């Protein structure tokens, strides 16, 4: 009987939010039952720890990985035709499939005819001609007369604070731990983009197919654990590791 009461009280404690109080019956039981009191203390502590962690932002490449995973799952699901059991479904699906084939074909043809230069096309272009220095006005005029080669696409705005090479944003101090973890998974790739570009080149592609996510837990031998993760792609000459060595450092000889 007492065991049942304990279970009920613990269930209630489980469902409580951090700032809620439990029923008077449960409170009465807690006064009597040491085990349930201990359970309550543990639960409260756990909630406080979890509550203190704050909001967790999605990793920078979350959408990219999610889409890749969805694509994988949808392609593997497509290989199973067991759902085509019914004749009506079968015919309906056949009609949809034919439509998809036509639509995709049309899209592909249109895209192939109109798409801007890809890296493969760029590879076939002749190398740029060596230019002799020209007065500034001349160069500017010539360039403004050329049709813009670039695609109009959004540039990720870098909201990181300014700082020197090692002073990077995104430092999250873990409570009661002397070491800090630099959590890159919630920060964007390093991007220049705060200032409006005055000129851009034709886009080129970068193969990112073999990249895996680097996220490891380490300990420092003093009982402190931390997680180190790095973005899969970064732009610009910034260091990945917190307090990493600084090239050509000042005040170290």
Q: Which of the residues 49 through 88 are near other proteins (CB under 8 A)? A: 64, 67-68, 71, 75, 78, 81, 84
Residues 97-121 as b or e (16 or more Cβ within 10 Å = b):
eeeeeeeeeeeeeeeeeeeeeeeee
- Residue selected from 34, 131, 175, 176 as contacting other proteins according to rule CB under 8 A: 131
Where does this chain touch other proteins (CB under 8 A) — which range of 11-19, 36-44, 48-56, 120-128? 120-128
Is the CB of 51 or the CB of 148 nearer to other proteins? Answer: 148
- Residue selected from 101, 171, 172, 173 as contacting other proteins according to rule CB under 8 A: 101
Does 114 engage in binding with other proteins (CB under 8 A)? Answer: yes
- Residue selected from 5, 93, 170, 174 as contacting other proteins according to rule CB under 8 A: 93
Residue 79 Cβ, how far from other proteins at the closest point, in Å?
9
Where does this chain touch other proteins (CB under 8 A) — which range of 9-17, 25-33, 41-49, 114-122? 114-122
Three-class secondary structure of residue 208 per DSSP: coil
Half-sphere exposure of 40 (CA within 13 A, CB side): 21
Report how far residue 49's alpha carbon sits from residue 47's, in angstroms, rounded to the nearest whole number: 5
Q: Supply 73's token pair.
A: 């799952």
DSSP-derived pairing of the beta strands 180-182 and 225-230: unpaired
Does 236 engage in binding with other proteins (CB under 8 A)? Answer: yes
Is the CB of 4 or the CB of 237 nearer to other proteins? Answer: 237
- Residue selected from 21, 24, 55, 111 as contacting other proteins according to rule CB under 8 A: 111
Does 28 engage in binding with other proteins (CB under 8 A)? Answer: no
Contact of 32 with 38, CB cutoff 8 Å: no
Does 34 engage in binding with other proteins (CB under 8 A)? Answer: no
Three-class secondary structure of residue 182 per DSSP: strand
Q: Supply 156's token pair.
A: 């990720």
Report how far residue 195's alpha carbon sits from residue 230's, in angstroms, rounded to the nearest whole number: 25
Does 156 engage in binding with other proteins (CB under 8 A)? Answer: yes
CB under 8 Å to 13, separation ≥6 — which residues? 22, 26, 36, 39, 40, 43
- Residue selected from 11, 90, 172, 173 as contacting other proteins according to rule CB under 8 A: 90
């Amino acid at each position: 009987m007492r065991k049942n009461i304990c279970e009920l009280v613990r269930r209630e404690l489980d469902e409580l939010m951090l700032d809620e109080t439990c029923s008077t019956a449960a409170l009465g039981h807690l006064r009597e039952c040491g085990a349930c009191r201990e359970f309550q203390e543990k639960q409260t502590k756990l909630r406080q720890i979890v509550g203190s962690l704050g909001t967790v932002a999605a990793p920078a490449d979350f959408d990219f990985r999610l889409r890749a995973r969805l694509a994988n799952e949808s392609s593997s699901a497509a290989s199973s035709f067991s759902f085509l059991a019914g004749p009506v479904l079968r015919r309906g699906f056949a009609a949809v499939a034919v439509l998809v084939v036509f639509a995709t074909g049309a899209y592909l043809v249109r895209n192939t005819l109109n798409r801007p230069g890809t890296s493969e096309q760029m590879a076939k272009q002749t190398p740029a001609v060596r230019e002799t220095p020209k007065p500034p006005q001349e160069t500017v005029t010539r360039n403004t007369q050329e049709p813009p080669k670039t695609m109009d696409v959004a540039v990720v705005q870098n909201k990181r604070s300014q700082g020197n090479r090692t002073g990077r944003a995104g430092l999250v101090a873990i409570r009661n731990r002397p070491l800090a973890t630099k959590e890159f998974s919630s920060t964007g790739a390093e991007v220049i983009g705060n200032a409006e570009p005055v000129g851009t080149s034709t886009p080129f592609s970068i193969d990112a197919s073999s990249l895996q996510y680097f996220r490891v837990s380490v300990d420092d031998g003093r009982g402190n654990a931390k997680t180190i993760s790095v973005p899969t792609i970064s732009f610009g000459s910034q260091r990945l590791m917190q307090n990493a060595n600084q090239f050509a450092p000042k005040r170290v000889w």
